[in-house]
Amino acid sequence: MRGLFARGASRGLAVLGAAALLTLAACSSEGGKKAEEEREGAGPRLKVAMVTHSAPGDTFWDIVQKGAQAAAAKDDVEFLYAANPDGGKQAELVQAQIDKKVDGIIVTLAKPDALKDVLARAAAAKIPVVSINSGEGASAGLGAVAHFGQDESVAGEAAGAQLAKIGAKRALCVVHEQGNVGLENRCAGAKKTFGGHMENLYVQGSNMPDVKSSISAKLQADEGVDGILTLGAPFAATAVDAVKETGSKAKIGTFDLNKDLIASIRSGAVQFAVDQQPYLQGYEAVDQVWLLKRNGNVLGGGRPVLTGPAIVTRENAGALEAFAERGTR
């Protein structure tokens, strides 16, 4: 009898255990993340839009988006992206996101005056704005809760010092977008620390053959140019081609990274890059919106959160190669 009772008791416990598991499974299937959010008072899934001034084909913005997408996946945020290098059209894209009633808008402020009115409308709609990459000086005044990027003037100073370090005396600062305050600040900062003669060369950034022609023409007209500072990785590659084509001895430095540029630094075709960590800019911007909406947090204390500059040379480029290969540096 004791054996039968024990076996019966075991069966009873097993049935109770199975019933408990089924109950837990039912609760989990009915609740899961939704139930957890309701318990925490988190509310529905957030929708965050990023609107930048990027032009097609600029690999820098691919890296920004990868960072934003990684944060969005972590935070269970729906991420939207749109871009246009024209300030007025960028403002129209921001308005479209306001009309969609997104929970947060991330913008670049390369042309802050063009976005002033639309960001005021975002504030009126109670949609928080975070700025990234450019316009750190205008960010707070336009109502952004935080800014993630490098101080472009400081980054320019670092680039100018590096150009001087590699022995350049007469340099070009190649500006691929007129009116972009961040690019102008980079060149102005570089002139402060360079010590030699530096002039701005304005090129049509959306047309690489024209960019190459402009750089080549300048190198042929002024054989004394021994340094070139470009303001984006794709333009460094074009400058390398121009130097080869003209037989110039000019040494090249640049801003920003991608996997091809890492290879050029390691080969010596490009001497250095100023890295502002675009992946971090995208990641932290999405995270900032999530933290603000979910817990009232703001990073930076009203000041820009700096993601750069860091100087990448032949000596340390190898340490970043694996990250660049996967498109995150």
pLDDT band at 154 (very low <50, low <70, confident <90, very high): very high
Asked if 149 contacts 255 with a C-beta cutoff of 8 angstroms, the reply is no
Inform me whether the pLDDT recorded for 284 exceeds 50: yes
What is d(CA 274, CA 246) in angstroms, rounded to the nearest whole number? 26
Inform me whether the pLDDT recorded for 218 exceeds 60: yes
Residue closest to 288 by CA, chosen among 137, 129, 87: 129
Q: Looking at residue 41, what is its pLDDT?
A: 54
What is d(CA 15, CA 248) in angstroms, rounded to the nearest whole number? 84
Mean pLDDT for 31-46 is 58
Q: Looking at residue 179, what is its pLDDT?
A: 87
The percent of residues in the chain predicted with pLDDT above 90, rounded, is 83
> In this predicted model, which residue has the larger pLDDT, 36 or 114?
114
Asked if 256 contacts 58 with a C-beta cutoff of 8 angstroms, the reply is no
Q: Looking at residue 40, what is its pLDDT?
A: 56
- Neighbouring residues of 154: CB distance < 8 A, sequence distance ≥ 6: 189, 309
What is d(CA 189, CA 307) in angstroms, rounded to the nearest whole number? 17
Mean pLDDT for 264-268 is 97
pLDDT band at 58 (very low <50, low <70, confident <90, very high): confident
Strand order in the sheet with 272-275: 197-202, 170-175, 227-230, 251-255, 272-275, 310-313
Asked if 111 contacts 136 with a C-beta cutoff of 8 angstroms, the reply is no
| Average pLDDT score over the chain | 89
Inform me whether the pLDDT recorded for 117 exceeds 50: yes
Report the largest interatomic distance among the alpha carbons of the chain, rounded to a whole angstrom.
Answer: 108
How open is the CA angle 115-78-328, to the nearest 5 degrees?
80
Q: Looking at residue 59, what is its pLDDT?
A: 85
Inform me whether the pLDDT recorded for 46 exceeds 50: yes
Residue closest to 144 by CA, chosen among 89, 170, 105, 188: 105
Mean pLDDT for 312-316 is 97
Asked if 317 contacts 282 with a C-beta cutoff of 8 angstroms, the reply is no
Q: What superfamily does domain 47-150+278-298 belong to in CATH? A: Response regulator (3.40.50.2300)
Task: Report the number of secondary-structure helices (H) and strands (E) in the chain.
Answer: 13, 12
Structure tokens at 220: 């042929």
pLDDT tens for 121-142 read 999 999 999 999 999 999 999 9
Structure tokens at 249: 């001895």
What is d(CA 256, CA 312) in angstroms, rounded to the nearest whole number? 9
Can you give the residue ranges of every domain in the chain? 47-150+278-298, 152-275
Structure tokens at 144: 């952004």
The arrangement of secondary structure in 152-275, i.e. its CATH architecture, is 3-Layer(aba) Sandwich (3.40)
Query: Strand 310-313 relative to strand 272-275: parallel, antiparallel, unpaired?
Result: antiparallel
Q: Looking at residue 64, what is its pLDDT?
A: 97
